[in-house]
Structure 1
Amino acid sequence: MATTERTEAIEVASIEDTSLLAFYRDMNPPERHTFWACASGWALDGMDFQIYPLVIGTIIALWKVDAGTAGLAGTATLLSSAVGGWLGGYLADRIGRVKTLQFTILWFSFFSLLCALAQSFDQLLIARALLGLGFGGEWAAGAVLMGEAIRPQYRGRAVGSVQSGWAVGWGIAVLAQAILFSIFPAETAWRWMFVIGALPALLVFYLRRYVTEPEIAAETRNKQIASGDQPPLWEIFEGPILKTTILASLMATGCQGGYYAITFWVPQFLTKERHLSIVGSTGYLATLIIGSFAGYLVGAWLADRIGRRNLFLIFSLGAIAVVLLYTQLPLSNELLWLLGFPLGFFASGYFSGVGAFLTELYPTRLRGSGQGFCYNFGRGIGALFPFLVGALSASTSLANAIAIFAVAAYSVFFLTAYALPETRGRVLHAST
Structure 2
Amino acid sequence: MSTTPPPQALADANPTTDERAADDGAFAWLRALGPRGRRAFAGAFGGYALDSYDYFTLPLSMVALAAYFGLDSGQTGLFTTVTLVVSAIGGALAGVLADRIGRVKALMITVITYAVFTVACGFAPNYETLLVFRALQGLGFGGEWAVGAILVAEYASAKHRGRTLGAIQSSWAVGWALAAIMYTLVFSFVDDDLAWRVMFWTGALPALLVIWMRRRVHDAPEAVAVRERSTEKGSFAAIFKPGLLRTTIFAGLLSTGVQGGYYTLATWVPTYLKTERDLSVVGTGGYLTFLISGAFLGYLTGGYLTDRLGRRRNIWLFALLSAVCILAYANIPSGSNTLLLILGFPLGFCMSAIFSGFGSYLSELYPTAVRGTGQGFTYNTGRAVGAVFPTTVGFLADSWGVGGALVFGAIGYGIAALALLGLPETRGKELA
Normalising by the smaller structure, the TM-score range is over 0.9
Q: Which residue of 1 aligns with 2:8?
A: none
Counterpart Cα distance in 2 of 1:366 and 1:26? 25
Counterpart Cα distance in 1 of 2:299 and 2:357? 9
| Structure 1 counterpart of 2:154, one-letter code | E
Alignment of 1:95-110 (within 5 A): 95-110=101-116
Q: Which residue of 2 aligns with 1:111?
A: 117
Which of 344, 348, 362 pairs up with 2:348? 344
Any idea what SS the aligned residue of 2:247 has? helix
Structure 1 residues not aligned, in runs of 5+: 1-10
Q: Which residue of 2 aligns with 1:211?
A: 217
Contact persistence 1:249–1:374 (CA under 8 A): yes
Residue 97 and residue 300 in structure 1: after superposition, are their counterparts in 2 closer, same or farther (change >3 A)?
same
Counterpart Cα distance in 1 of 2:311 and 2:19? 15
C-alpha deviation, 1:349, in angstroms? 1.1
Bigger RCO of structures 1 and 2 (CA < 8 A, at least 6 apart): 1
Map Cα deviations across residues 77-124 of structure 1 (whole Å, 9 max, x no partner). Answer: 111001100110011101110100111111111101100100111111
| Structure 2 counterpart of 1:159, one-letter code | L
* Aligned length in residues: 415
| Structure 1 counterpart of 2:178, one-letter code | I
Counterpart Cα distance in 2 of 1:236 and 1:13? 33
Residue 415 and residue 132 in structure 1: after superposition, are their counterparts in 2 closer, same or farther (change >3 A)?
same
Deviant stretches of 4+, over 6 Å: 11-18
Any idea what SS the aligned residue of 1:150 has? coil
Counterpart Cα distance in 1 of 2:208 and 2:234? 33
Q: Does 1:121 align with 2:127?
A: yes
Counterpart Cα distance in 2 of 1:92 and 1:337? 41
Contact persistence 2:160–2:307 (CA under 8 A): yes
Q: Which residue of 2 aligns with 1:198?
A: 204
Contact persistence 2:290–2:345 (CA under 8 A): yes
Q: Does 1:82 align with 2:78?
A: no
Map Cα deviations across residues 385-414 of structure 1 (whole Å, 9 max, x no partner). Answer: 2211100112212111111x2111000111
Map Cα deviations across residues 309-344 of structure 1 (whole Å, 9 max, x no partner). Answer: 111011011001111111113161011101000000
Map Cα deviations across residues 348-404 of structure 1 (whole Å, 9 max, x no partner). Answer: 11111101100000011110000000000010011122211100112212111111x
Any idea what SS the aligned residue of 2:333 has? coil
Q: Which residue of 2 aligns with 1:373?
A: 377
Residue 334 and residue 328 in structure 1: after superposition, are their counterparts in 2 closer, same or farther (change >3 A)?
same
Q: Which residue of 2 aligns with 1:387?
A: 391
Counterpart Cα distance in 1 of 2:19 and 2:369? 21
* 49-58 vs 328-337, greater mean Cα deviation: 328-337
C-alpha deviation, 1:71, in angstroms? 1.0
Alignment of 1:137-176 (within 5 A): 137-176=143-182
Using the aligned pairs only, state the percent identity.
46
* 53-62 vs 21-30, greater mean Cα deviation: 21-30
Map Cα deviations across residues 11-38 of structure 1 (whole Å, 9 max, x no partner). Answer: 9999676665221133321111111111
Q: Does 1:32 align with 2:29?
A: no
Contact persistence 1:253–1:377 (CA under 8 A): yes
Structure 2 residues not aligned, in runs of 5+: 1-16
C-alpha deviation, 1:282, in angstroms? 0.8
Q: Does 1:306 align with 2:314?
A: no
Q: Which residue of 2 aligns with 1:265?
A: 268
| TM-score, with length taken from structure 2 | 0.93
C-alpha deviation, 1:240, in angstroms? 2.0
| TM-score, with length taken from structure 1 | 0.93
Q: Which residue of 2 aligns with 1:132?
A: 138
Counterpart Cα distance in 2 of 1:19 and 1:327? 40
Q: Does 1:178 align with 2:181?
A: no
* 62-71 vs 23-32, greater mean Cα deviation: 23-32
Map Cα deviations across residues 282-306 of structure 1 (whole Å, 9 max, x no partner). Answer: 1100100000001001011111111
Q: Which residue of 1 aligns with 2:419?
A: 416
Contact persistence 1:38–1:142 (CA under 8 A): yes
